[in-house]
Amino acid sequence: MDVRIRTATQADAAGIASIIREMGWFVSVNAETEAETVERITAVFEKAENSSSYVAFVAETAEEIVGFAALHVLPYLIHTGNDGYLSELFIRESARGQGVGTALLQTVQDEARRRGCFRLRLINVKTRDSYQRGFYAKNGWEEWPDAATFVYRMDK
């Protein structure tokens, strides 16, 4: 598959929304209209426009956006470098297994290095296909055996 990776812009909101909605995994997305999803994604890009701590990338063919990834750069007081957080990496179902995810992952890793990150972290739900296939492990990522991820829901 001939894919180009580039920095995402507000103009990519509909393509990104299409991927997210196609998955059907997220209750909040399923509850909104397609137009609302596009509007929400556009608003995120507007907020992040001048941020040095957030960047998103898209993978596109000549026809459509087939994947996207987002990187957050977090400064820490206890570390000598920034911590990177890969918050999103999603590939359109029809493009999976064709190197798109690996290309996006490499782009995020390169950008994290450029922004002074000493490590990258992510959360991968163990029931997802990417975890089951060992996608991140195959790409050199290690599961942190002595740490737990906790979530405190602010929307309760």
pLDDT in tens, 115-149: 999 999 999 999 998 999 999 999 999 999 898 88
* Residue 69 pLDDT level (bands cut at 50, 70, 90): very high
CATH entry 3.90.1640.10 includes domain 4-138: no
Please give the mean pLDDT across all residues of the chain.
Answer: 94
Return the domain boundaries, the chain.
Answer: 4-138
3-state secondary structure the chain: CCCEEEECCHHHHHHHHHHHHHHCCCHHHHCCCHHHHHHHHHHHHHHHCCCCCEEEEEEECCCCEEEEEEEEEECCCCCCCEEEEEEEEEECHHHCCCCHHHHHHHHHHHHHHHCCEEEEECCCCCCCHHHHCCHHHHCCCCCCCCCCCCCCCCCC
pLDDT in tens, 30-54: 999 999 999 999 999 999 988 889 9
Q: Which is more confident, 92 or 149?
A: 92
Predicted structure pTM score: 0.92
